[in-house]
Amino acid sequence: MSQAATPRPTAESAQTDSPADLRTLLSAIRSGPQGPEIAAVFDFGGAVVDGFARPPLYRRALRGRGSGSLSATLLGGIRNGLTDGEYSRFLQQASYALAGRTEDELDELGERLFRRAIYGHLFPEAWQLIRTHEAAGHTVVLTSSLTRFQVAPAAAALGVAHVLCTAMATSDGVLSGYAEGKTLWRHGKADAVRSFAAANGIDLSRSYAYSDGVADVPLLALVGHPVAVNPERKLAAMATGNAWPSVAFRPRRAPRPRDYLRTIAGFAALVGGAVFGVLAKAYTGQRRKMADALMAYGTGATLRALGVRIRVTGAEHARSPRPAVFLFNHQSQFDVIIVPNVLGGAVTGIGKKELTRNPLFGPLMRFVGVTFIDRSDTHRAKATLAPVVETLRGGLSIAVSPEGTRSYTPEVGPFKKGAFHIAHQAGVPVIPVVIRNAGEISWRNSMIARRGTVDVAILAPIDVRDWDPAAMSEQVEGVRELYLETLLNWPDDAVSEVEHTARHTD
């Protein structure tokens, strides 16, 4: 691990490859001391989420006291390398904006802000570190000088149970606008961590702390393994002087005008490529060949227009055995472009009924034979899936997300059993398709795509023919664990880059 301070990366220079120093840090955690007496303390702003940019002066001047102003205050307080002056201004703004609000109202607002904006700023590298510390049995703590309304929803999404933040004074559930007791700023944060350690049997001399700002030097100096994350200039200098390691996380930037233009070009390329593919095979009169050509030309043209590369490990499992049920983890709306491009032809899918209303994806998915299910009606969904078994027995593979919905973090959500039952009834294997970085190319609730690289690992087939349909929960969870293990320990062997050209079976 490099001991030199790493300069804060820029959006232009950021790549989707994990930095070498992060891999070294992860390896050291795995091979180091284990157990709950070791803590991993993450500062929220800058080490877990990429902070929000300060809004222009004219927008700050126009703020009132409405919900928009309150949202702007809460989001605006989440900054990288927060300074003394910036934190003081946040407390003043928070005192004005939060006074008279109920805790329930603010808890609900915090959840909405997370689902609307904060989730997109979560560092995937932070998730990877948190999960690696948890696998080592460490006690993970999220700490912040901000309020619980800004921090708690992200902590819940990341599965972090211990949260230390600045408490706000209340009376009968209504906020006064003032902090209750000492704020968790500078030494206040270090004192809170010290108290938590004493109460929970934590050995700070063997613990870890991650932060990006010089205000957290007291916290970093408290532990045996301090790590500067994307350190600002003063912290970078102190990290160098104290031989503290630094690690670089890729910035989580909002879409820029060029991304919007590139996305529009991508959609146009999808339509153009799909039409070309259908026409190219129209002479055969065979819908399946036209559908395969639609997917090959359409997805290839889209990825080229977007500037998205796909790197695949285990590509041989995409070709054999067939037919199979391909299971992919779901983070991005562009997964419907990535998966068929990787798997090639002779694959259709299962999608949620809501996709039929998408003016672009809906018609294309219907043409290639996707089965749509109503997730709100379990009985009807099961009846709808019955013909899929015959589809598999007829030689056509199926691609489906067992999570059922996109996740807000790189975490793999609980698996539904429907795809496993289908594979069992059809007598075909399930093949895990693990996608990494798709949520960075396009955020969960966004149709805007950025340039970059998506990594895909296709794992070995899993034979489910001997599974007991009435008692497969443990086995299904075991498959889900394969995804988490792959995301945390990405395979580096046999990597191939998918060429975005038409691939079809004559």
**Using H for helix, E for strand and C for coil, what is the string for 388-404?**
HHHHHHCCCEEEECCCC
Name the one residue in this structure whose structure tokens are 């299971």.
Answer: 327
Distance CA 389, CA 400 (A): 13
Residue 485 phi, psi dihedral angles, 5° rounding? -65, -40
Residues with Cβ < 8 Å from 255, sequence gap 6 or more?
A: 446, 448, 450
Distance CA 105, CA 101 (A): 7
Residues with Cβ < 8 Å from 366, sequence gap 6 or more?
A: 356
Strand order in the sheet with 452-458: 371-373, 347-352, 397-400, 325-328, 430-436, 452-458, 308-313, 495-497
**pLDDT of res. 43:** 98
Residue 236 phi, psi dihedral angles, 5° rounding? -60, -40
**Contact in structure between 322 and 426 (CB atoms under 8 Å):** no
**Contact in structure between 310 and 348 (CB atoms under 8 Å):** no
**pLDDT of res. 370:** 84
C-alpha distances out from residue 151 to 91, 115, 160, Å: 15, 13, 11
**pLDDT of res. 493:** 64
**pLDDT of res. 15:** 39
Cis peptide before 461 (omega within 30 of 0): no
List the one residue out of 485, 475, 413, 409 whose CA is nearest residue 135.
Answer: 485
Q: pLDDT confidence of 17, banded at 50, 70, 90?
A: very low
Residues with Cβ < 8 Å from 229, sequence gap 6 or more?
A: 46, 47, 210, 211, 212, 246, 247, 249
Q: Kindly state the percentage of the chain with pLDDT values over 90.
A: 74
Q: Specify the DSSP class assigned to residue 206.
A: G
Q: What stretch of H or E contains 23? A: helix 20-31
Distance CA 195, CA 197 (A): 5
**pLDDT of res. 68:** 57
The pTM (predicted TM-score) of the whole model is 0.85
Q: What is the mean pLDDT of residues 52-62?
A: 53
Lowest mean pLDDT across 222-236, 314-328, 364-378: 364-378
Name the one residue in this structure whose structure tokens are 């078994």.
Answer: 389
**Contact in structure between 186 and 222 (CB atoms under 8 Å):** no
What is the amino acid identity at position 264? I
List the one residue out of 59, 117, 114, 52 whose CA is nearest residue 79.
Answer: 52
What is the amino acid identity at position 270? L
Distance CA 190, CA 197 (A): 10
Distance CA 445, CA 117 (A): 9
Q: Kindly tell me if the per-residue pLDDT of 18 is higher than 50.
A: no
**Contact in structure between 419 and 350 (CB atoms under 8 Å):** yes
Structure tokens at 269: 């390329």
Q: Kindly tell me if the per-residue pLDDT of 16 is higher than 80.
A: no
Give the chain's largest Cα–Cα span. Answer: 77
Chain segment 80-130, per-residue pLDDT in tens: 988 999 999 999 999 899 999 999 999 999 999 999 999 999 999 999 999
